[in-house]
Amino acid sequence: MKNKDNLNVSGFFRLKIGEPDARGRVVKVAGDSGYQKNTVVNLGFQYFLVQLLGGISGSSQLTYVALGTGTGPAVTDTSLNGELSDSGNCRCAITPSVIASKTLQCAFTLNSNVVVANRTLQNIGLFATSQTAGGTLFAATTYATSQLQTNQAVNGSYQIRFS
């Protein structure tokens, strides 16, 4: 008997750029990317999926998201092109949750005033470390540019879907 199980991994993200009030709540949305699809890179499959499933030393878990000004990834990339590095807080800690039996959602916020100059954002990636320009990329993509001002925050979600 043939096994017809196929496993596909897809990632999707959504960013909302907005201006927060005094309490940090976004009161005016300045940009919304809508959901966009990503690329899982070669070492992303190896470290974050294959080694993790086997409990092998050196495996990684998703804990941070990075935003950048560069191009989209090639499957051989290990870093995010043009990653923001204004401060140690440029990588955003994620809050993971299971939103369906086959979907992991990673929610995050880049607070206002973390970047020291206005930026044109156009890519995003998932990592296991908070160290800017460090660690191995799991997945990333590029999208139509969004302007981020220093007084604006970014709220986002990144979903990894198995089908």
- Predicted confidence at residue 29, as pLDDT, reads 80
CA-to-CA distance for 99 and 94, rounded, in angstroms? 15
- Taking alpha carbons only, the member of 29, 15, 30, 43 closest to residue 123 is 15
Tens place of pLDDT for every residue, the chain, 163 residues? 455 677 888 889 898 888 877 776 667 788 888 888 999 999 999 999 999 999 999 899 999 999 999 999 999 999 999 999 988 789 999 999 999 899 999 999 999 889 999 999 999 999 999 998 889 999 999 998 889 999 999 999 999 999 8
Main-chain phi, psi angles of 49, to 5 degrees: -120, -60
Q: Which two tokens stand for residue 59?
A: 């495996």
Cα 52 from Cα 56, distance rounded (Å):
6
12: left (phi over 0), alpha (psi -120 to 50) or beta: beta
pLDDT at 163 (0 to 100):
87
Pairing of strands 39-40, 64-68: unpaired
pTM confidence score:
0.87
Write down how long the chain is. Answer: 163
Domain boundaries, the chain: 9-162
Tell me whether strands 103-110 and 95-100 are parallel, antiparallel or unpaired. Answer: antiparallel
Classify burial at 3, counting beta carbons within 10 Å of its beta carbon; exposed 0-12, middle 13-18, buried 19 or more.
Answer: exposed
